[in-house]
Amino acid sequence: MLKVFGILAMTYLGLVAQSSLVPGGSTNLGGPFFPALLLVMIAACCGGASSVLWSGLVGLLLDGMSNDKMGVQLILAVVLALMLQWTRSMWGSQSLVALVAMVMVVCLSWRALSPMTLAVLSGRVVDPQVILTDAIQDATWSGTIAAALILVGRGLMRPGIRGNSMNLSRSVPRMRTAVR
């Protein structure tokens, strides 16, 4: 229950941040793409069907937040969720580098495929070079934000983990004595 609430809350915050805090189209510097971070977080927290469902929810909400044709973000989110599931099954690493790399790849793929797909569907001509440049900028921002968030999160969790390991080491000698 707590996990469900946590994922819902993070999804809400991520989309609010994307629409309210990330600079709009007037800047050429790009910005973080929080839905990519959400997808990687969901993949790290849960697996299988639930991961795909939550990712689909992120995509659906993203569709609802946009002025473009609906359904595209939902399908992209599901495809990227499946890709993340496959990556986890192959490598399964939760290191900082692995997580940041996943965020950057998801962001790059999403920010490149989304405008191209929408352009094809609406019969609009776009410059792939511009799209790719924008996608790389967004992926860099997203990777940086992800690294910062992971480091802060792990830093906050560390005292709790140390405390638990100390309790475990104290209990082991008593167990050995009992066995003798």
Provide the binding-site residues for other proteins, judged by CB under 8 A. 12-13, 15-27, 47-49, 51-53, 56, 59-72, 74-75, 78-79, 81-82, 85-86, 89, 114-115, 118-119, 121, 124, 126, 134
Please say which residue, 21 or 96, places its beta carbon nearer to other proteins.
21
Q: State in angstroms the smallest separation of the CB of 175 from other proteins.
A: 35
Please say which residue, 76 or 100, places its beta carbon nearer to other proteins.
76
Q: State in angstroms the smallest separation of the CB of 172 from other proteins.
A: 34
Q: State in angstroms the smallest separation of the CB of 111 from other proteins.
A: 10
Q: State in angstroms the smallest separation of the CB of 28 from other proteins.
A: 10
Please say which residue, 26 or 169, places its beta carbon nearer to other proteins.
26
- Match 């080491």 to its residue by tokens: 169
Q: What share of the chain is helix, strand, coil (3-state, %, to 5)?
A: 80, 0, 20
Please say which residue, 20 or 129, places its beta carbon nearer to other proteins.
20
3-state secondary structure the chain: CHHHHHHHHHHHHHHHHHHHCCCCCCCCCCCCCHHHHHHHHHHHHCCHHHHHHHHHHHHHHHHHHCCCCCCHHHHHHHHHHHHHHHHHHHCCCCCHHHHHHHHHHHHHHHHHHHHHHHHHHHCCCCCHHHHHHHHHHHHHHHHHHHHHHHHHHHHHHHHHHHHHHHHHHHHHHHHHHHHC
Please say which residue, 48 or 173, places its beta carbon nearer to other proteins.
48
Q: State in angstroms the smallest separation of the CB of 52 from other proteins.
A: 5
